[in-house]
Structure 1
Amino acid sequence: MITVANRIFVHPEYHSQFEARFQDRAGLVDGMQGFIANQVLRPTAEGDPFIVLTFWRSREDFEAWTRSDAFRQGHARSGSLPKEAFSGPNRLEVHEVVQVTGEVKGE
C-alpha cells in the first residue's frame, strides 16, 4: 500500500473555498482500481499546507489514475480557485506504508 500526500499551500482567506472544492468533488477517484481512501487535512498552524492524502493498493494503481480520463475530468471540474488563492507551489509526496495500527474513521 502507498500514500500520496499533495501538500497545497492556500492563503487563509481562501480556506473555506478550498474545502468546498473537495466537499463538492466529482468523486471519480473513488471508483478507480486500487483506490482505498481519501482524506483532506486542514492546517492548524498558520502557513502550513492543506494535505490531500490518498491511499492506494500500489504505485501502479495511482499512476493509472493520473493517466486516466477520470483524473482529467475531476481536475478540470475543480479549477474554481484563482491563482492568487495559493501561497506557493504544491508538493507531491509518495510513501510506502510499512505499518498500520488501529483504524481511522471520519465524521
Structure 2
Amino acid sequence: MSIVKINAITVQADSGDELARRFAARAGAVDGQDGFEGFELLQPTDDRHTWLVVTRWRDEEAFQAWVSSSSFAHGHRSAAERAGQAPPAHVGVSSEVWSFVPAGGSSGTITS
C-alpha cells in the first residue's frame, strides 16, 4: 500500500515565491527513485504561510531508502552549494514531516 509523506514548511510572509522557485529548480530530481509515485507542492490560498510538499511512495522502506541516499543529500543542496559557493539563506522558518496511508477516497483522479 502506498504511503504519503507531507513536509509542512512554514515560511516568512514574503518567502513563498522563493520556496516555489527553489523547488522548480530541482523539479524531477526524485522522479527516478525506486518506489517514488508522485509529488506536489501546495501553496496556501489563505493567510497561512505553510506550504505542503506532498509525496507518495510505494512503502515506508522506499521513502527511507531515498532519505538516506546520496540523491536526497544532493537534491537538498542549493545550486550555489553544488557549484561550491555559500548556501543561500533558508526560506523556511520551520518544517515537520507528516506520514499517512490512504484510508478512503474515490476512484477518480485529482488534478490541478
Amino acid at match of 2:25: D
Measure the CA separation in 2 of the matches of 1:99 and 1:5: 17
User: Which whole-Å deviations, capped at 9, do the CAs of 1:67-101 have from their partners, x for residues lacking one?
Assistant: 11100000013676523x333x2010011112242
* Partner residue, 1:82: 89
RMSD: 1.8
Inter-partner Cα distance in structure 2 for 1:81 and 1:11 = 15
* Cα distance change on mapping 1:74 and 1:26 into 2, 3 Å: farther
Structure 1 equivalent of residue 5 of structure 2: 4
Larger radius of gyration: 2
The residue aligned with 1:93 is: 98
Whole-angstrom CA distance in 2 between matches of 1:81 and 1:103: 37
**Matching residue of 2:69:** 68
Name the % identity: 29
2 CA distance for matches of 1:17 and 1:62? 26
- Give 5+ residue unaligned stretches, structure 2: 82-86
Equivalence for 1:58 = 59
Q: TM-score, normalised by structure 2?
A: 0.82
Structure 1 stretches of at least 4 aligned residues deviating more than 2 Å after TM superposition: 77-81
More strand by share: 2
Secondary structure of the 1:99 match is coil
Partner SS, residue 28 of structure 1? coil
Q: Secondary structure at the match of 2:14?
A: helix
Residue identity matched to 1:93:
W
In the alignment, residue 104 of structure 1 is paired with which amino acid?
Answer: I
The farther-off stretch of 95-104 and 5-14 is: 95-104
Aligned-partner SS, 2:47: coil
Is 1:27–1:74's contact at 8 Å kept on the other side of the alignment?
no
How many residues are paired up?
Answer: 104
CA distance in 2: counterparts of 1:99 and 1:44, whole angstroms? 25
Give, in angstroms, the shift of residue 26 of structure 1.
Answer: 5.1
